[in-house]
Every structure is written in C-alpha cells, then in structure tokens.
Amino acid sequence: MIDTPSLVDQYCHGVLRTELGLGTFEAHLGGTGGPPAPGTTFFDTQTGFAVRRWCPPLLGLEPHCPPARYLARRRELGVLESGRRLLRATGISTYLVDTGLPGDLTSVPETAAAGMADAHEIVRLELLAEQVADTSGTVDAFLANLAEAVHGAADSAVALTSVAALRHCASVAPEPPGPGEVRGAAGRWLDGRTVGGRLTDPVLLGHLLWIAVAAGRPLQIHVGVGDPLPLTGFAAATAGLGTDLVLLHGYPYHRHAAHLASVFPHVYADVGPALARTGAGAAAVLAETLEHAPFGKLLFASGSRGLPELHVVGARIFREALERVLGGWVRDGAWCRADAQRVAGMIAAGNARRVYGLAG
C-alpha cells in the first residue's frame, strides 16, 4: 500500500567477483570473520532465512530452498549473471559505495554496471591515512599529505567515513587534538609501522576526524555497539560547523542515534543495516528508529558487503518493514496516506539526495 520509490543506498560495499562455495558464502552471512560455533550454521540466522526467502526466486528457484541447492544454481548461472540478476532486483537506483574494504570486490563503476544504477564513492578515512603513511617519509610530509588527501577525497567523493573513531573514545573528544600532540602521535605511529599497518591511535584518529569535519563533505561515522555517550559530545562540538554527520550502524543503540538526530540539526542516522540483520523482526527496529527522529533525518542504507544477496535482503526487508510500519499507522488512522507516502520517499531516497547533493 505504501509505494516506495527507487532507493538510494547511502552505504554499502561492492560484491565479490569470485565464485563462492557453501562455506565462503556462509562466512559472509555471519559477517564476523569467524567460524560458526560447533553444531551451528550462519544460515540459521535472520539474515540466512531472509536470503533463503527472497533470493532463490530471483534465480528461478522456490523460496526457502536448501542452501546447497541455491549455491548450486548460483554457480550454474555464474557469479556475474547471478550478481546482475540479484542487484537489478533490489530497486536500488543509486549506490554509495565504501571502497575501503579489502577483498576482491567490484569497483564503483562495476557495481553501477552490474546493478544498472548510479554509483558514487565513499572514502574511508583510516585507509586513506594508511595509504598516505605508506608513501610519506617524514612526520611533516605525512601530516601535509594527509590534509591534502582528505581535502582531495572531499572534492571527488560523495562522502567520507570513519570506522574506527568511535572504538577509541579519545578520538571523538569535543576538541581537535593540539598540533604537538598530533605530531608526537604521528611520529610514534610512523616509527613503529610497517607498510600496510593499521591506524588505531586515538590522537591520530581524532585528528583525521577533525580534518574531515573541516573538509565539508558529509561524514559517516560507524557507531558500533558501544556506549553512545561520547558521540553526544562530538555531535555537540561539531554543531554549526557546516558538516553533516551521518551515524551508521547504531544498533542496538539505534534509539540513541535517532535521538541525536532529533537534537542536532547536522546529525542524521541510517536505517537499514540493522533491519537486514533482523530479518523477520525488522518492523520493530524500524518503528523504534521512527520514534524520535525527525523523518527528514533518516537515510536508507543496506550496509551490505560482498554478497549481492545482502543488497537484495537489505532492500526487500526495508521496503517490507516500511510498508508494515507506515501502512499500519495509516490503517490505524494515526497518519494520513499522503504523509506516509511522502515520508517513505524521504527515507528511501529524498533525504539522501538532499544531504549528498545527488541529482533527483
């Protein structure tokens, strides 16, 4: 009854270019990098059940068919063809792609081509800093190149993203770290580092975040499952600076993320990745996100990585939850249909078009 327009997926990754066996496919369903517990399988999860519900029909099989049968059909079609069929069935017309993940994933233009859609790049700040470190000989060169690289990314990319900042409370301190502190941290990091070494120093992460705030592009912050309190301080500190913050993956603190979006004009929150993992129970999580957030502050994302099946379930579960929740409110008389339709369009695509400056 609620007619969702084509979606803007404001945060996802590319899909794997290689054929997948059952075990690799299952590992990507788990999403943790680790194995399932003995006697269990990641197919026995909400995501696993959702994949079995939505994807087999797109490859010509019955819903809920056994995983082995699905994987056999997928290999029969080939990774390219099955990827195309799946992505083109998502209803996503624009992908914003975080290219900062390792692995043999489709590039931004390849993702666009496979999905017959538009696609734009999101630059991951930590990877950018690590790449700059790989090619900078001195602390001075590193810091100058870093600032240049972040501003360059802000010119070319649709958004910047930080995945690590919130793991280290100190890096979301309400003030940028001082220049001496940054130089010291950079020196220690570069000294101890071999090529490819990861950035986890809180001072440097904080510095990186504040450079990104200054660069003006929307800044996507991965919230994770930790205490959301430090985020409040950072949101307060960056209010009025002209850069939007988009909180990603707030579950199980999605109500906090939505609350922050209601308090700070420059703070937005995603809707979708938590739904995709919640499967049959997604309507409840969506309804919770819609409790306090202004409807202009929520943006759909699939959050999917690696498997085009995850893009499918991200989009399908989102649409179905939206229909269930908003449609239910219309049926109860709480909302009028026109409002429900309008809000669906805002969360599905309109808010993202406005925040990221995408063509309608």
**Residues in contact with a second copy by the rule CB under 8 A:** 30, 32, 34-42, 44-46, 49-50, 53, 63-64, 225-227, 229, 232, 251-252, 255-256, 259, 262-266, 268, 274, 277-281, 284-285, 287-288, 290-297, 325, 329, 332-336, 339, 343, 346, 354
The three-state secondary structure class of 251 is coil
Residue 178 or 252 having the CB closest to a second copy = 252
Beta bridge partners of 162: 221
Q: Compute the distance between CA of residue 302 and CA of residue 271 in angstroms, rounded to an integer.
A: 8
Nearest distance in Å: CB 52, a second copy: 8
Nearest distance in Å: CB 254, a second copy: 9
Residue 79 or 284 having the CB closest to a second copy = 284
Nearest distance in Å: CB 231, a second copy: 11
Residue 50 or 186 having the CB closest to a second copy = 50
Nearest distance in Å: CB 182, a second copy: 28
Residue 44 or 140 having the CB closest to a second copy = 44
Separation of CA 273 from chain center: 7
Nearest distance in Å: CB 50, a second copy: 8
Place of tokens 């893009």: 311
Long-range pairs, 72-75, Cβ under 8 A, ≥24: 74/20, 75/19
* Alpha-carbon distances of 350 from 61, 160, 187, 322, rounded to whole Å: 34, 20, 44, 15
Residue 149 or 293 having the CB closest to a second copy = 293
The three-state secondary structure class of 102 is coil
Is 324 exposed, middle or buried (CB count within 10 Å of its CB: 0-12, 13-18, 19+)?
middle
Between strands 159-162 and 219-222, the pairing is: parallel
Longest C-alpha distance within the chain, in Å?
65
**127: CB partners within 8 A, 6+ apart:** 100
Place of tokens 């054929």: 19
Q: Check residue 27 and report its DSSP letter.
A: H
Q: Check residue 218 and report its DSSP letter.
A: -
Nearest distance in Å: CB 125, a second copy: 23
Nearest distance in Å: CB 265, a second copy: 4
